Chain A
Amino acid sequence: MTTYIEGATGPWEVVIGLEVHAQVSSNSKLFSGASTEFGADPNSQVSFVDAGFPGMLPVINDFCVRQAIKTGLGLHAQINELSVFDRKNYFYPDLPSGYQISQFKHPIVGEGHLNIDLPDGETKAVRIERIHLEQDAGKSIHDQHPSKTFIDLNRSGVALMEIVTMPDISSREEAMAFVKNLRSLLRYLGTCDGNMEQGSMRADVNVSLRRPGAELGTRAEVKNVNSIRFMGQAIDFEVQRQMEILEEGGTIVQETRLFDPVRGETRSMRSKEEAHDYRYFPDPDLPPLRLKPELIEEIRKTLPELPEAKKTRFVEKLGLSPYDAAVLVSDAEFADYYESAIAAIKQQDDKAPKLLANWITSELFGAMNRDNLTISESKVRPEGIAELVDLITAGTISGRIAKDVFLQMWESGESAAQIVKEKGLEQVSDDSAIRVCIEQIMAANAGMVDEYRSGKDKLFGFFVGQVMKAMQGKANPKLLNDVLKEMLDGK
């Protein structure tokens, strides 16, 4: 689906391509054995290789290679049996050897695709051009000293996958949906933790405009956008900026821009004329990377069920709505939680999977949002919420009571059964107890009974409420309805 932006001089088509840098989940770096732990003291996780000492040599970390293959397979992409590491040469203090080892001409992963859901319910395939492996640079810290820059090399040599899309994305919503889906996929695969705030994932956003059907326009590249929200803002700003220039008859300069999250705008970093000549050439320290087809097949067998397949299964086998299914599969942790809860359900009830999904997406997610906790921090574990649903489907408690029980579970971590038992919240399904209560209510409201019997049916609800209130909400609603109707009707 192509959407157009209406300008003063006619419609414009937005064309976006992304280069997502995803940190490979791995305990050690791409070419050295140093640790990759986040948040360690500056320069505490640096080997002599990472610091570019004389005579030090890179040796490829096989686990990172496997992670890249896994990612490629998750994106339905071509895995290249031969790939080559190149040196990208430039001087900067946080780049110790004076070059970054990357893959330029022959990346490890070739073309693939990732689907995104469009607002109209359609699915769009965004094509992946390539994924290559490269090492990260260190970090320059400019705010520790008035005139000096500090360097932290902990990140130097950390493995990154650069995932490059074709210019298939045509709106901020699509771009944001792509990054969300990609992040979710990478988490499923366990190949990147997707924590943008920690810098594990960031994107370079290429934006250009063209008249519908025309040739691609000149693009601007917004570097290092590190949140999905910022990406939306950066695209909005770029589209507006470029449209204004084009509509006034100007031309777009091919350049690198930086997003300023404080002002919500992009600023020019350097133009193509000032662009570095990186003098790429094959790294003579590293032989070409050759992958055996058997290795690729072995990794293919270890792929988990991916979000799309899981969503289809949730809808078709478990009867969830596409919306609920999408919410639950959007995060591997959510889906795992849900599936663990399903496995813990004891009551045979066809409605249970759907009921469970509702409880998770409404009550649990609501509480998580309110208290700003993640699902793994929740005291309500999958077995707990399954027990709560079991209590509902077994008729032990009503849905209304269950909400109170849930809140207490959320606060204290006690089990549902324990709370129900301690507080005596079991639903009353004893016919005679309900009858006694109804008799009392009818006696106390004789006038209303007469009105009801003379045809004022709407008063039925009033009696339900009164009885429930008298029974502290514990009456089995269905039984209450049946008995009340029978008694009011005087049968």
Chain B
Amino acid sequence: MNELIKLNLSQARDKLLKKDFSSVELTSAFIKQMEETRGLNAFITETPELALEQAKASDKRIAAGSAGIMEGIPIGMKDLFCSKGTLTTAASKILSNFIPPYESTVSQNLKDAGAVSLGKTNLDEFAMGSANITSAYGPVENPWKKQGDNAKLVPGGSSGGSAAAVAARSCMAATATDTGGSIRQPAAFCGLVGLKPTYGRCSRWGVVAFASSLDQAGPMTHTIRDAAIMLEAMSGYDPKDATSIDISVPNYESLLTGNVKGLRVGIPKEYQVDGMRSEIMDVWHKGVEWLKQAGAEILDISLPHTKYALPTYYIIAPAEASSNLARYDGIRYGARIEGEDLTDLYEKTRGQGFGNEVQRRIMIGTYVLSAGYYDAYFIKAQRVRRLITKDFTDAFQKVDCILTPTTPTAAFSLDNPPTDPVEMYMNDVLAVPANLAGLPALSLPGGLTSDGLPLGLQLVGKSFDEVTLLNAAQVIETAANFQGQVTQMRKAS
């Protein structure tokens, strides 16, 4: 393995600026690794030629002293972000031939910051899934394995390709999106940092929509500092997205103090869900201890409506998705299966173009919006959503951020994933409340299971207070010394 790909984003950035190596060298190393790890199926489309062109341009800007904050850094782009001139599939057959004539705002922001895109990463179809097994381009494999067990594991989802690619060091960082845990859960499964920003922080323009009121793009990286750098590059008000918020973007990296003295951290009792493994409880307790030792004040809090979050999410997200996905009809772009008449064309195109999970959610969404069911499901869910938001608002009167586990389990088997959709949906039970409330939330590796799989800790913060999350997370990052834990376990075995 080339030494260059072992660097973190911030390290590579510093060395690029010092001209220790060029972006072309760095990018070439990642292209090679991308090829060598192809078996993980982390990328749907690789764009090495484009990446090298961008790397050359980056080297010129570095030489000219006009480097952006991610200049020359090779990243993976979740295949949900439209890239001008490059196939963008959303991991669906229905978009198997779609080449966008425009670039999403977030990917453009990253380009403008100098980032180099290696290609489009795999995901669950239309970002619907928690194991990256619903992709029309095949499942993604987690680079992690249990100690002494060669069975393939899922990387989590929906941003499973991004997580696997970063974890396998076939890109230095990756973009991801999080509608109900799709950044944080795969980050947790792959031992990475995943940050879902406040709703409205990153523009949704040019990102294939799943559930508009929940979707939010964010970075997936190795370290908190890397996440801070990449978040700044991705963020910003966009007049083309009416839900984007016009609040200036701080220089997150410069605000990393690693100081949590006096920070009030809430521990919600409702997050101890049934069936949560003791190893996860242990990591959670360790997280509490680390923060306490660094001078934070730990407070027990209650978020009483937490148990309604998952059912609420599974009404609102499919409802919006059923409408958002109506445009894929085979008429103007994308795959079309001809039919005898218009209805037949629609049914064939959508029946064969969408996979089972997407069809399931379209049907759920259509049902909950139907006359006669709308009030009982959709309206009720909207009300519960407000109560869940209020839980957080009340809690944030007393605390500055909230610490919980990210997932109830570690990564599970790729060959025998849960077949019951509800069991699968349980993966996101701890993640969806932050989406429903639009709050920033971050997952970082806290420890390992006894068989050596990463476990994530989640921090949830106040609206637009990503800085507090990053600082608390950095304290845990240092104390946890995740890489040290990994090395130690590997030595021991």
A55 touches B207 (CB 8 A): yes
A279 touches B243 (CB 8 A): no
Min CB distance, B17 to chain A, in Å?
33
A285 touches B243 (CB 8 A): yes
Q: Give the complex CA separation of A277 and B368 in angstroms.
A: 12
A277 touches B371 (CB 8 A): yes
CB neighbours (8 Å) of A322 from chain B are none
CB neighbours (8 Å) of B19 from chain A are none
CB neighbours (8 Å) of B88 from chain A are 54
Min CB distance, B106 to chain A, in Å?
10
Q: Contacts A91-B329, A98-B329, A287-B242 hold; do A55 and B323 have CB atoms under 8 A apart?
A: no
Does residue B18 face the partner (Cβ distance < 8 Å to A)?
no
B212 touches A55 (CB 8 A): no
Does residue A52 face the partner (Cβ distance < 8 Å to B)?
yes
Q: Contacts A281-B374, A285-B212 hold; do A91 and B326 have CB atoms under 8 A apart?
A: yes
Does residue A355 face the partner (Cβ distance < 8 Å to B)?
no
Min CB distance, A90 to chain B, in Å?
9
Q: Contacting A281 at CB < 8 Å: which of B81, B332, B369?
A: B369
Does residue B209 face the partner (Cβ distance < 8 Å to A)?
yes
B-facing residues in A184-234 (Cβ within 8 Å): none
Q: Contacts A52-B332, A279-B366 hold; do A57 and B326 have CB atoms under 8 A apart?
A: no
Does residue B102 face the partner (Cβ distance < 8 Å to A)?
yes
Min CB distance, B86 to chain A, in Å?
13
CB neighbours (8 Å) of B168 from chain A are none
Min CB distance, A92 to chain B, in Å?
8
A54 touches B95 (CB 8 A): yes
Q: Contacting B205 at CB < 8 Å: which of A55, A91, A277?
A: A55
A91 touches B346 (CB 8 A): yes
A48 touches B102 (CB 8 A): yes
CB neighbours (8 Å) of B374 from chain A are 279, 281
A-facing residues in B258-283 (Cβ within 8 Å): none
A-facing residues in B62-103 (Cβ within 8 Å): 81-82, 88, 90, 95, 98, 100-102
Q: How many positions in chain B have a CB within 8 Å of any CB in the partner chain?
A: 43
B329 touches A93 (CB 8 A): yes
B208 touches A54 (CB 8 A): yes
Complex: chain A residue closest to B331, CB-CB? A93
Q: Contacting B212 at CB < 8 Å: which of A89, A96, A279, A284?
A: A284
CB neighbours (8 Å) of A285 from chain B are 209, 212, 242-243
Does residue A337 face the partner (Cβ distance < 8 Å to B)?
no
Q: Contacting A58 at CB < 8 Å: which of B242, B319, B325, B326?
A: B242
Q: Interface extent on A, as a size class?
A: 20 to 34
CB neighbours (8 Å) of A87 from chain B are 323
Min CB distance, A82 to chain B, in Å?
16
Min CB distance, B217 to chain A, in Å?
11
CB neighbours (8 Å) of B378 from chain A are 281
A59 touches B82 (CB 8 A): no
Does residue B206 face the partner (Cβ distance < 8 Å to A)?
yes
Min CB distance, A359 to chain B, in Å?
53
B242 touches A98 (CB 8 A): no
- Residue of A55, A93, A285 most packed against chain B (CB within 10 A): A55
Q: Contacts A59-B242, A99-B326 hold; do A281 and B370 have CB atoms under 8 A apart?
A: no
Complex: chain B residue closest to A95, CB-CB? B326
A151 touches B331 (CB 8 A): yes
A-facing residues in B298-312 (Cβ within 8 Å): none
A281 touches B242 (CB 8 A): no
Q: Is the interface of A mostly helix, strand, loop or mixed?
A: loop
Complex: chain B residue closest to A286, CB-CB? B242
Q: Is the interface of B mostly helix, strand, loop or mixed?
A: loop
Does residue A437 face the partner (Cβ distance < 8 Å to B)?
no
Does residue B241 face the partner (Cβ distance < 8 Å to A)?
yes
Instruction: Scan B20-37; emit 1 where CB is below 8 A from any A CB, else 0.
Output: 000000000000000000
CB neighbours (8 Å) of B239 from chain A are 59
CB neighbours (8 Å) of B209 from chain A are 54-55, 285
Min CB distance, B458 to chain A, in Å?
24
Min CB distance, A100 to chain B, in Å?
11
Min CB distance, B101 to chain A, in Å?
7
B-facing residues in A43-72 (Cβ within 8 Å): 48, 51-60
A287 touches B208 (CB 8 A): no
CB neighbours (8 Å) of B98 from chain A are 54
Q: Give the complex CA separation of A93 and B325 in angstroms.
A: 14
Does residue B54 face the partner (Cβ distance < 8 Å to A)?
no
Does residue B211 face the partner (Cβ distance < 8 Å to A)?
yes
CB neighbours (8 Å) of A53 from chain B are 100, 102, 327, 332-333
B-facing residues in A238-282 (Cβ within 8 Å): 277, 279-281
- Residue of A53, A56, A59 most packed against chain B (CB within 10 A): A53
Complex: chain B residue closest to A87, CB-CB? B323
Complex: chain A residue closest to B209, CB-CB? A55
Does residue B462 face the partner (Cβ distance < 8 Å to A)?
no
Q: Contacts A48-B102, A87-B323, A96-B327 hold; do A55 and B213 have CB atoms under 8 A apart?
A: no
Instruction: Scan A382-424; emit 1 where CB is below 8 A from any B CB, else 0.
Output: 0000000000000000000000000000000000000000000
B82 touches A54 (CB 8 A): yes
Instruction: Scan B327-346; emit 1 where CB is below 8 A from any A CB, else 0.
Output: 10101110000000010001
Q: Give the complex CA separation of A55 and B100 in angstroms.
A: 10
Q: Give the complex CA separation of A286 and B323 in angstroms.
A: 14
Instruction: Scan B351-373; emit 1 where CB is below 8 A from any A CB, else 0.
Output: 00000000000000010011100
Does residue A97 face the partner (Cβ distance < 8 Å to B)?
yes
Q: Give the complex CA separation of A96 and B370 in angstroms.
A: 21
Q: Contacting A57 at CB < 8 Å: which of B81, B90, B204?
A: B204
CB neighbours (8 Å) of B331 from chain A are 93, 96, 151
Q: Contacting A59 at CB < 8 Å: which of B81, B240, B320?
A: B240
Q: Give the complex CA separation of A182 and B475 in angstroms.
A: 68
CB neighbours (8 Å) of B204 from chain A are 55, 57
CB neighbours (8 Å) of A58 from chain B are 242
Q: Contacting B211 at CB < 8 Å: which of A52, A279, A284?
A: A284
A279 touches B104 (CB 8 A): no
A55 touches B370 (CB 8 A): no
- Residue of A98, A280, A287 most packed against chain B (CB within 10 A): A98
CB neighbours (8 Å) of A55 from chain B are 81-82, 100, 104, 204-209
CB neighbours (8 Å) of A56 from chain B are 205-206
B-facing residues in A82-130 (Cβ within 8 Å): 87, 89, 91, 93, 96-99
B323 touches A279 (CB 8 A): yes
Complex: chain A residue closest to B90, CB-CB? A54
CB neighbours (8 Å) of A277 from chain B are 370-371
Complex: chain B residue closest to A275, CB-CB? B371
A284 touches B320 (CB 8 A): yes
A-facing residues in B193-231 (Cβ within 8 Å): 204-209, 211-213
Q: Give the complex CA separation of A97 and B322 in angstroms.
A: 11
Min CB distance, B247 to chain A, in Å?
15
CB neighbours (8 Å) of B369 from chain A are 89, 279-281
Q: Give the complex CA separation of A151 and B346 in angstroms.
A: 16
Min CB distance, B409 to chain A, in Å?
31
Q: Give the complex CA separation of A287 and B327 in angstroms.
A: 21
**Sample of 8 A–B contacts (CB below 8 Å):** A48-B102, A52-B327, A54-B82, A54-B88, A55-B205, A60-B242, A279-B371, A281-B323
Question: What would 10 more interface pairs be, CB under 8 Å, given A55-B104, A99-B326, A284-B243?
Answer: A54-B98, A55-B100, A57-B240, A93-B329, A279-B370, A279-B371, A280-B369, A281-B369, A285-B209, A286-B242
Interface residues in chain A, defined as those with a beta carbon under 8 Å from any beta carbon in chain B: 48, 51-60, 87, 89, 91, 93, 96-99, 151, 277, 279-281, 284-287
Interface residues in chain B, defined as those with a beta carbon under 8 Å from any beta carbon in chain A: 81-82, 88, 90, 95, 98, 100-102, 104, 204-209, 211-213, 239-243, 319-320, 322-323, 325-327, 329, 331-333, 342, 346, 366, 369-371, 374, 378
Q: Which 6 A-B pairs have the closest CB atoms?
A: A98-B326, A284-B212, A284-B213, A279-B369, A52-B327, A55-B206
